């Protein structure tokens, strides 16, 4: 993280850098069809595990370099491994440092995880209500199991990852026309509405649990 900031490596994880080096990158992917995906996945793991900025750009780049479907798969693989690595590290002696980084956000998320960890984490993955790095860390401090974390991460990041990779697959034509691409232009109101709908669906178990509890309390009172 210190090297990333000191050497200003963030300038290489940008759409402008992708535009500038597109020919070299495309030639490299063509020349090394097996090594290139591995290098991309490894870089994605590093970005997520160290909570470095540029995850969305990495996903768009995956679609640009490998196409929509392979780009989605590689990005999901890298993001899930990176997030899981950070989750496991947060449970070690380094957890205190990372917990301090999370700060007061944890208390805001605790009730949701206590209610239904899987559904709540799915919502957080589907909708960017909190920073991605925070959603990676918080479950480790709030008692979420690794199994639940893996399932929610893999399923929850899938829709947005596909959207970003799809946008990346058409990035070449945008560059050819001299246009600009931004994260805001990818997450259109229609896309956000669709992700919001999926997030609402993931909350069905929580709503059902509350309704059932309320019904049981009512029936118990009548008796």
Distance CA 131, CA 51 (A): 10
Determine the angle formed by the axes of helices 117-126 and 132-141, rounding to 10 degrees.
170
163-186 pLDDT per residue, tens: 888 888 877 776 666 656 555 555
Instruction: Tell me the helix, strand and coil percentages in the chain, rounded to 5.
Output: 80, 0, 20
- Our count of domains for the chain comes to 1
Backbone angles phi, psi at 50, to 5 degrees: -100, 10
89-122 pLDDT per residue, tens: 888 766 667 677 666 667 777 777 777 788 888 8
Closest CA to 108 of 129, 128, 91: 129
Contacts (Cβ under 8 Å, ≥6 apart) of 186: 56, 60, 163, 164, 167
Range of the domain at 216: 2-222
Higher pLDDT, 220 or 173: 173
Average pLDDT, the chain: 77
pLDDT category at 200 given cuts 50, 70, 90 is low
């Amino acid at each position: 993280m210190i090297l990333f900031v000191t050497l200003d490596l963030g300038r290489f994880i940008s759409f402008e850098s992708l535009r500038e080096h597109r020919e070299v990158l495309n030639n490299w992917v063509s020349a090394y069809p097996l090594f290139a995906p591995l290098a991309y996945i490894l870089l994605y793991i590093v970005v997520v595990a160290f909570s470095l900025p540029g995850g969305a750009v990495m996903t768009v780049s995956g679609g640009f370099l490998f196409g929509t479907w392979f780009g989605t798969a590689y990005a999901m693989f890298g993001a899930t491994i990176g997030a899981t690595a950070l989750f496991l590290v947060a449970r070690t002696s380094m957890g205190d440092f990372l917990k301090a980084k999370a700060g007061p956000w944890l208390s805001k998320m605790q009730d949701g995880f206590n209610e239904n960890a899987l559904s709540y984490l799915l919502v957080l993955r589907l909708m960017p209500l909190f920073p991605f790095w925070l959603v990676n860390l918080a479950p480790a401090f709030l008692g979420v199991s690794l199994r639940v974390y893996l399932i929610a991460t893999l399923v929850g990041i899938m829709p947005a990852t596909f959207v970003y990779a799809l946008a990346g697959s058409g990035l070449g034509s945008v560059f050819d026309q001299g246009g600009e691409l931004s994260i805001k232009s990818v997450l259109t109101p229609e896309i956000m509405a669709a992700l919001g709908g999926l997030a609402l669906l993931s909350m069905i178990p929580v709503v059902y649990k509350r309704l059932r509890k309320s019904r049981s309390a009512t029936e118990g009172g009548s008796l």
